[in-house]
Amino acid sequence: MDIKKIEKIVSLCKRRGFIFQSSEIYGGLASTWDYGPLGVEMKRKIKNDWWHNIVTSRDNVVGMDAAILMHPKTWEASGHVENFHDPLVDCKHCKTRYRADHIDLDKPCERCGVKDWTEPRQFNLMFKTAIGPVEDSEDIAYLRPETAQGIFVNFSNVQATSRQKLPFGIAQIGKAFRNEITTGNFLFRTREFEQMELEFFVYPEETKKWLEYWCNERVEWFKQLGITAEKLRLRPHGEDELAHYSSACYDVEYEFPFGWSELEGIADRGTFDLDQHNRTSGKKQTYFDPVSNQHIVPAVVEASAGVDRAFLTCLVDAYHEEEVRGEKRVVLKLSPKVAPITCAVFPLVNKAGQPEKALKIVKDIRKEFGAFYDAGGSIGRRYRRQDEAGTPFGVTVDHQTMEDDTVTLRDRDTMEQVRIPADGIRQALRERLSK
Ligand code: ATP
């Protein structure tokens, strides 16, 4: 497998302004990344597409946005204080730290070749902080390790105000933090990341049906983002893998250069979370069922995806190296849905009224789509830069434009150009984006 591909993508991301290492001028902070001008556009498009697919295109899902800091009792009730651990071992010889469940402890350390392990110890993954100026056990707060609990503790608030009836969902996008023992593979495993989570509340006897429904919906979502279908799979969890709250779980996985890895977990959480919060808070988070005239605790099917992992998947899947007329071409074949810039506009030469005309076209395209003007360097170089940025379309203003008001429209993937009227550009883009 092409492990080097990830290195090439990291370097392209820096070169083009998708992703920079966090606090790079100070030597960087390990496994922490900043989204640059192109990265932030693409990330936003992924989140917007998810939000539309999960929330705004449906009658029975509503959104919310909870605070990152929550009452510490939340994490006692959810089981995170007690159970959100990973087993940690150190190599006594070279001091490298590993997740004990990620390595074979019967073999020597892969870094130094010596076999001398500490006993595995449990390590809680939550970041702890203190609220207020004095650090006291009373003032402990955690950075949330998942966005889901913000939804569970608001179940009654949201249900009562949105007047939803079972089955219905509450969705949220937001930051989560985990003090991971080992990080790596670029954006794949970091300590600060973003989640897109749906908690779908159902009658307890209907969980199996909804688990199947959401597994199917979620795989389809990744496909319509342009991800290669053959590189996606749904993997059921074995008994030994299930989290403390879950009785059935599937992972949506993608075949990365470093192997099949999880993009999203879809789990039957049963009534665990609402039961726990009912018990711990003493406040009833229940649902009045108009059919049976009883208060019930709904069960929940959760679909929990990582924004950054979806972003990395789009990049890895889109990255191609091709040979064009004896030269290497690097191109990101991103779906126009997520490409940071939809259309680049170039004057062929920097004179004869062409730049002015091109700028006018940019202004017009921007009424509907993201556009970028580039007049620097040879036209071939400008095409290559946009290929690396994943820009699906390029419009060139040339000598003929000044005579008959037509332009060329270039397709990133086929590199074919067609001549169209300048006032038909937006229509042409609309048609191509709706495919
Ligand atoms: P893993 O087994 O990879 O540690 P997990 O099973 O603990 O993941 P969940 O708790 O199911 O992950 O979290 C839901 C989603 O959040 C994951 O599918 C992933 O997309 C994202 N996610 C979780 N941890 C991280 C992380 N450290 N960095 C980036 N994304 C993450």
CATH number of the domain that residue 50 is part of: 3.30.930.10
How close is the Cα of 195 to the center of ligand 1, in Å? Answer: 8
For the chain, the average pLDDT equals: 93
Domain match, 377 and 283 both: no
Instruction: Give per-residue pLDDT as tens, 403-424.
Output: 999 999 999 999 999 999 999 9
Domain match, 285 and 373 both: no
How close is the Cα of 58 to the center of ligand 1, in Å? Answer: 26
| Secondary structure tally for the chain: helices H, strands E | 13, 23
- Residue owning the nearest CA to atom 24 of ligand 1: 189
What is the reported pLDDT for 135? Answer: 63
The position carrying tokens 């204080």 is: 81
Whether residue 175 contacts residue 127, with contact meaning beta carbons closer than 8 Å, is answered with no
User: Which atom of ligand 1 is closest in space to residue 189's alpha carbon?
Assistant: 28
Domain match, 168 and 19 both: yes
Closest alpha carbon to 425 in 361, 351, 330: 361
The whole domain housing 411 covers 341-433
- Residue owning the nearest CA to atom 1 of ligand 1: 262
How close is the Cα of 160 to the center of ligand 1, in Å? Answer: 31
C-alpha radius of gyration, the chain, whole number: 25
Closest alpha carbon to 398 in 344, 354, 364, 345: 354
Q: What is the pTM of this model?
A: 0.93
CATH number of the domain that residue 369 is part of: 3.40.50.800
Instruction: Give per-residue pLDDT as tens, 281-327.
Output: 999 889 999 989 999 999 999 999 999 999 999 999 999 999 988 88
Percent of the chain predicted with pLDDT > 90: 80
Q: Which residues line ligand 1 (CB under 6 A)?
A: 178, 180, 189-190, 193, 195, 262-265, 304-306, 308-309
What is the reported pLDDT for 101? Answer: 84
What pLDDT band is residue 98 in, cutting at 50, 70 and 90?
A: confident
How close is the Cα of 183 to the center of ligand 1, in Å? Answer: 11
Is 407 within the bounds of a domain? yes
Domain match, 309 and 353 both: no
What pLDDT band is residue 131 in, cutting at 50, 70 and 90?
A: confident
Domain match, 150 and 266 both: yes
Is 333 within the bounds of a domain? no
Mutation choice for ligand 1 from 124, 309, 312, 313, CB with most ligand atoms inside 8 A: 309
What is the reported pLDDT for 137? Answer: 65
Spell out where 8-126 has E strands. 19-21, 33-35, 61-63, 85-90, 97-99, 121-124
Closest alpha carbon to 277 in 359, 391, 199: 199
What is the reported pLDDT for 136? Answer: 62
**3-state SS assignment for residue 91:** strand
How close is the Cα of 154 to the center of ligand 1, in Å? Answer: 23
Q: How far apart are CA 230 and CA 245, in angstroms?
A: 31
Please give the tally of structural domains in the chain: 2
Instruction: Give per-residue pLDDT as tens, 332-343.
Output: 999 999 999 999
Using DSSP bridges, classify how beta strands 294-296 and 287-289 pair: parallel, antiparallel or unpaired. Answer: antiparallel
Q: How far apart are CA 9 and CA 229, in angstroms?
A: 21
What is the reported pLDDT for 304? Answer: 98
- Residue owning the nearest CA to atom 28 of ligand 1: 189
Domain match, 165 and 268 both: yes
Instruction: Give per-residue pLDDT as tens, 144-184.
Output: 999 999 999 999 999 999 999 999 999 999 999 999 887 77
